[in-house]
């Protein structure tokens, strides 16, 4: 798909979390270029509190095995058709980015770092959308599983805060209703 160059407003308003990908691979260069730009997220003290483990193309098959073992514990008992169906949540995205943040022992810094990493992730999602690449930030329980952490070489004092699935899609989901500003804003003093 060709580049879109959406306005910031259009990218924010039109982006949707994509949960149904079509299997088309994402080029690693494209994902790395997106990450290269996304790092311009605000972050306190310029700590840049993030690193990523990325999988595209040839790395995907080994990653699918790790995800299968963690997400479908009794996968051996399934027929190959059922397993293939269950695995489609994992096999149809064209790439993955796992976002890892340091867990600062100081609460303020830890919150700031999580906030900054969240902005970084939103940047990735918007920049990807601008290139016609969908994404979904997922937080399955296995992100904290020791076997998973080991597979990603996550260090003590680090936490995986996002499984970002990226890829191409055939349908754009309808936007979910949002509250109006009048419902969430109180004017100071009123
Ligand atoms: C911190 C966070 C965690 C999320 N975890 C999941 C998840 O585990 N599974 C999932 O399907 N979507 C997950 N989402 C995506 C939300 O479901 C999605 O953003 C929400 O439905 C709004 O849709 P939109 O992004 O298209 O506006 C997560 C989003 C955020 C910000």
β-pairing verdict for 134-138 and 95-102? unpaired
Is the pLDDT at 174 greater than 90? The verdict is yes
> What is the average per-residue pLDDT within 20-31?
98
- Testing ligand 1's pocket by substitution, the residue of 67, 136, 179 carrying the most ligand atoms inside 8 A of its CB is 136
Q: What is the rounded average pLDDT for all residues in the chain?
A: 97
Residue 19 Cα, ligand 1 centroid: separation in angstroms?
9
Confidence of residue 3 (pLDDT cuts 50, 70, 90): low
Cα-to-centroid distance, 136 and ligand 1 (Å): 6
Percent of the chain scored above 70 by pLDDT? 98
CATH 3.40.109.10 given to domain 8-166: yes
Tell me the average pLDDT across 28-34: 98
Q: Is the pLDDT of residue 144 over 80?
A: yes
The 10 Å Cβ neighbour count of residue 41 is 19
| pLDDT tens digits, 66-77 | 999 999 989 999
**Would the pLDDT of 1 be above 50?**
no
| Closest C-alpha to ligand 1, atom 30 | 137
Name every protein residue with a CB atom under 6 angstroms from any ligand 1 atom. Answer: 16-17, 19, 136-140, 176
The answer to whether the CB of 78 falls within 8 A of the CB of 72 is yes
Dist. CA 41–CA 132, nearest whole Å: 21
- Residue by residue, DSSP assigns 115-159 as HHHHHHHHHHHHHHHHTT-EEEEE--GGGG-HHHHHHTTPPTTEE
Q: How far does the centroid of ligand 1 lie from the alpha carbon of residue 139, in Å?
A: 8
Which residue has the CA at smallest separation from atom 16 of ligand 1? 17
Q: Is the pLDDT of residue 152 over 90?
A: yes
Residue nearest to atom 27 of ligand 1 (CA): 16
């Amino acid at each position: 798909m060709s580049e879109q160059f959406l306005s910031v407003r259009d990218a924010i308003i039109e982006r949707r979390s994509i949960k149904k990908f079509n299997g088309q691979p994402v080029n690693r260069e494209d994902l790395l270029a997106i990450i290269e730009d996304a790092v311009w997220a605000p972050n306190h003290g310029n700590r840049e509190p993030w690193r990523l483990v990325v999988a595209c193309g040839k790395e995907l098959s080994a990653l699918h095995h790790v995800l299968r073992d963690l997400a479908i514990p009794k996968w051996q008992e399934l027929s190959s058709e059922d397993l293939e169906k269950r695995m489609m949540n994992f096999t149809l995205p064209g790439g993955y980015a796992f976002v890892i943040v340091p867990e600062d022992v100081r609460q303020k810094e830890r919150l700031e770092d999580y906030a900054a990493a969240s902005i970084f992730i939103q940047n990735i999602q918007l920049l990807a959308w601008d290139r016609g690449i969908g994404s979904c930030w997922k937080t399955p329980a296995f992100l904290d599983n020791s076997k998973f952490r080991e597979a990603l070489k996550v260090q003590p004092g680090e936490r995986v805060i996002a499984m970002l699935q990226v890829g191409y899609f055939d349908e754009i989901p309808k936007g979910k209703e949002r509250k109006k500003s009048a419902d969430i804003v109180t004017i100071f003093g009123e």
